[in-house]
Copies of this chain bind each other. A is one copy, B any other.
C-alpha cells in the first residue's frame, strides 16, 4: 500500500482557512487520487492575521502529480522553490507552444529576472505573453499570438493569488453559490443598487474600475424591461452595453412601430407581422447607415439604444447565426467581437448579465474574478453556471429580466 512515490512541496498563504482555500486544496488532492502530508500549518489567531500551510503533495505517478499541481495552482498552491517562469516562442501565427501555461481568471504573477510581475488584465483560458526586456506580461488569446512571441510554458514561476473574502459585507461576500428562486430578491437587489450608486459616484469622479457593464438579451424588451433599462442608462448607471442584434432591433422596433406590447398581445405567437416589424426596423436602420445616425436624425428617439447613444455608452454588439439583418454596428465576426468586448472591460467595476446565456457566459469568460458579477435569468441553469466560477463575487438571481430591471430601477429612484 506504499504507492505514492512522486511528491512536491507546495505552500499556501493568506486567508486560507476562512476562504476555504486550504480545504479545497486538500480536497482536490484526495479526489484526484493523490495524498498529502501537512508539514506545517500556522493559523492566524485573529481574522486579520494571515495563515500559512506547507503541504507535501504525493501521487503514484509523475503525470498525476503534475495534474494535481496544475489543479491546485489556481487556489494559490505554489511550489516552494521560486524560479523564473519558462518561456518558448510561438511556432507560427495563431498557435501557442505545446506546453503553454493556461490562465485562470484569478490575479496572476509571473517571475521574470527574479522579479514577480503582474499579468494585467487577467483573463481565463488564454496564454501569458512576456516581454523580458521591458519586464512585463499580459495575456494573449490563442488566435492573436504571433510567431516568435514569448509565451510562458510549464508551471514554474507562475503565482496565482486566490481571492480572499471581500471586505465589504454585502451579497457579493458569500462563500457559496447564491442561486435560488426561493430567496428574497429585494435585499440582493438593494445591495446591487448600493454598489451602483457608489460606482456612479466613483465614475463621475474619474476613478478607475468604476464602470458598470450590462450584457443583456432581447428578453429584456420582450418581457417589458425596456423602460426601466432606458432609465438606468439615462441616469448614468450603465457605461458599457454588450448585446446582440436582437436586443437593439427589438428596442428600436418599439420606437418605430409603436409599443410592441399591444401587438404582441393581439397577435399571439403565430402572427408574422410582429416579426415583420423586426425586419423592417433593421432594414430601416441599414438604410440610414448606423444607429447613431438614426438617433441623430431623430428617427430613433426613445428607448435603450437612443439613451445609450445620447449618454455616450460604449456599445459592443456581437453577431450570431440567429440574426436577421444584421443592424449596422453589429460585429459579425465572433473573434473581432470578442476582442471588442475584451477592450471594453478594463475599468468595469460591476457586471450585470441579464437574460442572455450567450453574453453571460462569453462575458464571464473575459472577466477577471475580482469583478463583482450579477447573473439574472428565469432559467436557473444560467446563473448557476456563472456562480460556479468559484469566486466570491458572482451572484445569481432566478427571476425574469423585466422584474429585475424594474426592481433595480425603482431601488435607484425610478418613478414609472
Q: How far is the CB of A415 from chain B (nearest CB, A)?
A: 11
Per the bound structure, the CA–CA distance linking A283 and B127 in Å amounts to 11
Are A26 and B18 within 8 A (Cβ)?
A: yes
> Which of A114-122, A132-140, A303-311, A317-325 lies at the binding interface?
A317-325
Given contacts A27-B18, A286-B95, A407-B403, contact A335 B341 (CB under 8 A): no
Residue A202 lies at the interface, judged by CB distance under 8 Å to chain B: no
Cβ contacts under 8 Å, A73 to chain B: 272
The answer on a CB contact under 8 Å between B224 and A174 is no
> Which residue of chain B has its CB nearest to the CB of A93?
B286
Q: Within the complex, what minimum Cβ distance (angstroms) separates A330 from chain B?
A: 8
Chain A contact-residue range equals: 35 or more
Q: Is the CB of B333 within 8 A of A224?
A: no
Q: Closest residue to A225 on the B side, CB-wise?
A: B184
Contacts of A381 in B (CB 8 A): 181, 379-380
| Contact residue among B26, B92, B362, B399 (Cβ-Cβ distance under 8 Å from A400) | B399
A379 and B382 CA atoms in complex are apart in Å by 11
Docked Cα-Cα span, A54 to B196, in Å, equals 40
Q: Given A17-B22, A271-B71: A264 and B184 within 8 A (CB)?
A: yes
Q: Residue of B at shortest CB range from A388? A: B269
Which A residues are within 8 Å of any B CB, using their own CB?
17-20, 22-24, 26-28, 30-33, 35-39, 41, 43-47, 67, 70-71, 73-74, 91-92, 94-96, 98, 100, 102, 104, 124-125, 141-143, 165, 171, 173-176, 180-188, 218-219, 222-224, 260-262, 264-273, 275-276, 278-280, 282-284, 286-287, 318-326, 332-338, 341, 357-359, 361-362, 365, 378-381, 384, 388, 390, 398-400, 402-403, 406-407
